[in-house]
Copies of this chain bind each other. A is one copy, B any other.
Amino acid sequence: MPSASQIQPRKTPRQGRSRASYEAILTAAAQILERQGAAGLSTNTVAERAGVSIGTLYQYFPGKEAITAELVRRIKAQLLADLSQALEEARGLSMREAAEIMLAASIRHHARAPELSRELERIEELLPLDPETEAVAANIHAALGALLAGYGVAEPAVAARDLTALSKGMVHAALFAGETDLARIEARLLPAVLGYLGLDPGERCARRG
């Protein structure tokens, strides 16, 4: 298991060619994860696809883990941004409406690059997240927890985790099975979320024949 220092980028260049190489490496890694999965990801393949030498790759990252860790960091930040925006929209709405909005945002997030996000989640479990990423993850959870708490949900932290996990599970499975209609996935998932929250799934009930 890689130590904390091995997942920090060596330097995060701010400009010029350096910056371009840095980004090229991350882009290459993301593409490989999306297209070939973790098995295809090696420092050599990343460098090659990025169009930089292996030496350059090591200038910016202390190792392979650091590259994936940065991808995790970014996708988490992206998720936080997406959900924050959804939270804005959800402010003041009913719990049911809020759930719908949050769910839609979450599904869109997973659907953007399903294989990539799947691989990154797998990787996340193996990696010791660095404090910054942990903080972002905690933020996401906290925001969601706060929302839930606002609606009087008991144990909002647990509920946040449960809802996140069950959504991920179902959405990934649906995408993996080849579904592409996000609205349909959401329509099936929403009643489960509402049920979890103790709300009558109501008129959207599509599961009874």
Q: Mark A143-155, 1 if CB is under 8 A from B, else 0.
A: 0000000001110
CB contacts under 8 Å to B, within A122-166, are 122, 125-126, 152-154, 158-159, 161-162, 164-166
Is A9 at the interface (CB under 8 A from chain B)?
A: no
**Interface size of A in residues (CB-CB distance below 8 Å):** 42
**Segment among A74-82, A85-93, A185-193 that sits at the interface with chain B:** A185-193
Across the interface, name the chain B residue whose C-beta is closest to A95: B208
What are the residues of chain B within 8 A of A199 when measuring CB–CB? 195, 201
What are the residues of chain B within 8 A of A113 when measuring CB–CB? none
- Complex Cα spacing A201 to B201, Å: 8
What are the residues of chain B within 8 A of A153 when measuring CB–CB? 207-209
- Complex Cα spacing A29 to B172, Å: 27
Q: Which of B122, B125, B152, B169 contacts A208 (CB 8 A)?
A: B152
- Complex Cα spacing A192 to B198, Å: 8
CB contacts under 8 Å to B, within A170-197, are 170, 172-174, 176-177, 188-189, 191-197
Let me know if A37 and B207 touch, CB within 8 A: no
Let me know if A170 and B173 touch, CB within 8 A: no
Sampled A-B contacts (21; CB under 8 Å): A37-B126, A122-B122, A152-B208, A153-B208, A154-B206, A154-B208, A161-B174, A162-B173, A162-B189, A162-B192, A165-B172, A165-B174, A167-B169, A169-B169, A188-B196, A191-B198, A196-B201, A196-B207, A198-B205, A198-B207, A200-B201
> Which residues of A line the B interface, CB within 8 A?
37, 39, 122, 125-126, 152-154, 158-159, 161-162, 164-170, 172-174, 176-177, 188-189, 191-201, 205-209
The 9 closest A-B pairs by CB, nearest first: A195-B195, A169-B169, A165-B173, A198-B205, A192-B196, A166-B166, A166-B170, A152-B209, A198-B207
